[in-house]
Amino acid sequence: MLTMNEFLIANSWWIPLYGLIGAILTLPWSTGTVRRTGPRPAAYFNLLMSLGAFVHGSLLLRLTLNQPPEYLTFHWLTAADLDLSLTLEVSSVSVGAMELVTGLSLLAQLYALGYMEKDWALARFFALMGFFEGAMSGIALSDSLLLTYALLEMLTLSTYLLVGFWYAQPLVVTAARDSFLTKRVGDILLLMGVVALATEAGSLDFLDLYDWAETADLNPVFATLLGLALIAGPTGKCAQFPLHLWLDEAMEGPNPASILRNSVVVACGAYVLIKLQPAIAISTVASATLVAIGTATAIGASLVAIAQVDIKRALSHSTSAYLGLVFVAVGTQWTGFALLLLLAHAIAKALLFMSIGSVILTTNSQDITEMGGLASKMPATTTAFAVGTAGLIGLLPLGGFWAMRLGADDLWYYEPALIAVLLLVNALTAINLIRVFRLVFWGPTQPKTRRSPEVAWLMATPMVTLTVATLLFPLLLQRLSLLPSWEYINLPAVMLIVSSGAIGCAVGARITLQRSLSRSIIKPLKFVQDLLAYDFYIDRLYEVTVVFAVSLLAKTTAWFDRYVVDGVVNLVGLAAIFGGEGLKYSGAGQSQLYVLTILLSLGFLVTLMGWFVYFHP
């Protein structure tokens, strides 16, 4: 007889299924079979299942705290020496990551019920959100690279469907296509790495991979190629250079989906990268590549964010920047810093996107040059943005500071040059967020913000809840024994982090943006502004290199197929037709002539074969 604790652990695999069950229950409404009740019952089903997943996960988290991990193995396919098993890890880290997913998903769905209440496809949106949640919860629990890869594919599909939700708009269709194809590049390379790893290690369970990585003796070239292949998938999922353009375009989708996409969806790719770190660390080139990609993305995306006038894009580029810091942490093998940064970033960034979603809904605009004076009209939204900003950058005492402090401590003696990257990204993020706050919530009221009331309770409740959660985040870290004692605090590192955040806030508060003339007339400044606003023209660089090469190859193969392959086939067909037409007039109808022709032909073929065998033994 199982006890309640054993029952909860043994059935932990049900938690990722809650979201999928909710998505299935919405089918009568999302397919239009049920119309009389409207789409809201579908939303209620999904909310109920997400609440069940969150409660189940909360009970499970209390059981796993300070306990060794437990593993659940399901043998999917066993044949001869082949054993494809799907393993789940039930530990405080995996269950905590799953709770973050289900909690933010629950709040985002409640927020979406108010944000999209008049959308005709509300049921379809909630079905996709349930699919989204199920895939991410599964990734958090998975201890099998095979299962993780399959769930990453589900995540790519659901991202494509959610970005293209409003498919009647051409720009939305283009954004969905680009986000899907960009991720496919990384996924294909990751699949190559998974197959190679299965061949070398003999197992795809992470626990077995860690044991194998400790004693693996691989050819340096093979180890490098394997490491780069394993990096490629998370690079696409986390919107890192050079596969980073999709996240900017994905902002064309509904804002409630952007809440999850910029907080936990990108974090899933980084979470997989963290679990693959021992296998990647076999190659020093792969680890150095991680640091290089993370550094380039963190600095570049932080600069690009400052030049954006679209409020969603200004925040999405900072998402790429913070995930770049996670890549740096994994490349330097400081996975504790990476996990804490992911946690702090996810909560703060979700709150920021809830805040700007409220602004977009009430002003019907995403252009920050058309906003201003909202602080007195939308106090809850303003407070949410301010708290989210403080929770993201390194300001005492919220979560972003503790994550940055841990990173500075880890890098202080071993990689001091990377501390400069950490401080620069912190300062640039502060400049960007304070700039947005100043232009949107301060200043004179604009025509589009003159009548902008606070949002309804369906949107305000999750926003206020997440505001309180962000403020209480340090208490959660203390409860989990993740805060250091003040006697062991590195004061110089703390001063640098706080100073970089404070300087960034001061500079951001001084930046002005003339609404009548948003582009400078000074040529050097205009060049820099355009360079950052258009993301260093990387999309145009792709057009004249990768896109041009693929297009040229496609046109060449199409021409070869049409005129060479089809030409040869058509020539043989014509020869057969004309030969048959010609022979029908020479037929005498006498059977002895036909037999003679067959015998002569066979004799000729036998003679030819004998000659070939004699002279070419």
> In three state form, how does the secondary structure of 535-551 look?
HHHHHHHHHHHHHHHHH
Q: Does the residue 516 lie in any domain?
A: yes
Of 457, 435, 442, 433, nearest to 358 by C-alpha is 457
pLDDT for residue 230 = 92
Task: Give yes or no: residues 507 and 568 share one domain.
Answer: no
Of 533, 560, 577, the last residue of a domain is 533
Q: Does the residue 76 lie in any domain?
A: no
Backbone angles phi, psi at 141, to 5 degrees: -85, -20
pTM: 0.88
Of 10, 12, 14, nearest to 49 by C-alpha is 14
CA 172, 175, 180, 183 torsion-angle sign: negative
Q: Does the residue 104 lie in any domain?
A: no
Q: Identify residue 525 by its one-letter amino acid code.
A: L
pLDDT for residue 517 = 46
Q: Identify residue 502 by its one-letter amino acid code.
A: A
Task: Give yes or no: residues 470 and 556 share one domain.
Answer: no
Of 511, 533, 555, the last residue of a domain is 533
pLDDT for residue 516 = 46
Q: Does the residue 54 lie in any domain?
A: no
pLDDT for residue 108 = 93
Total domain count, the chain: 3
Rg of the chain, C-alpha, whole Å: 30
Q: Does the residue 151 lie in any domain?
A: yes
Maximum alpha-carbon separation in the chain: 112
Task: Give yes or no: residues 528 and 400 share one domain.
Answer: yes
Backbone angles phi, psi at 503, to 5 degrees: -65, -40
Of 334, 242, 230, nearest to 283 by C-alpha is 230
Task: Give yes or no: residues 526 and 545 share one domain.
Answer: no
Task: Give yes or no: residues 579 and 599 share one domain.
Answer: no
Per-residue buried b or exposed e for 216-230, using 16+ beta carbons within 10 Å of the residue's own CB:
eebeeeebbbbbbbb
Task: Give yes or no: residues 492 and 610 share one domain.
Answer: no
Query: Quick check: 43 and 108 in contact, CB under 8 A?
Result: no
Q: Does the residue 55 lie in any domain?
A: no
Task: Give yes or no: residues 181 and 213 share one domain.
Answer: yes
Task: Give yes or no: residues 418 and 440 share one domain.
Answer: yes
Domain that holds residue 250: 144-533
pLDDT in tens, 474-487: 888 888 777 777 77
CA 99 to chain centre: 18
Task: Give yes or no: residues 281 and 390 share one domain.
Answer: yes
Task: With a cut of 50, list the residues of the chain below it in pLDDT.
Answer: 516-517
Task: Give yes or no: residues 605 and 563 share one domain.
Answer: no
Task: Give yes or no: residues 399 and 250 share one domain.
Answer: yes
For residue 73, the surrounding DSSP H or E stretch is strand 70-79
What residues contact 562, with CB distance under 8 A and at least 6 apart? Answer: none
Task: Give yes or no: residues 499 and 545 share one domain.
Answer: no
pLDDT in tens, 419-434: 999 999 999 999 999 9
Q: Does the residue 18 lie in any domain?
A: no
Q: Does the residue 523 lie in any domain?
A: yes
Distances (CA, A) of 592 to 506, 598, 599, 600, 606: 106, 10, 11, 12, 21
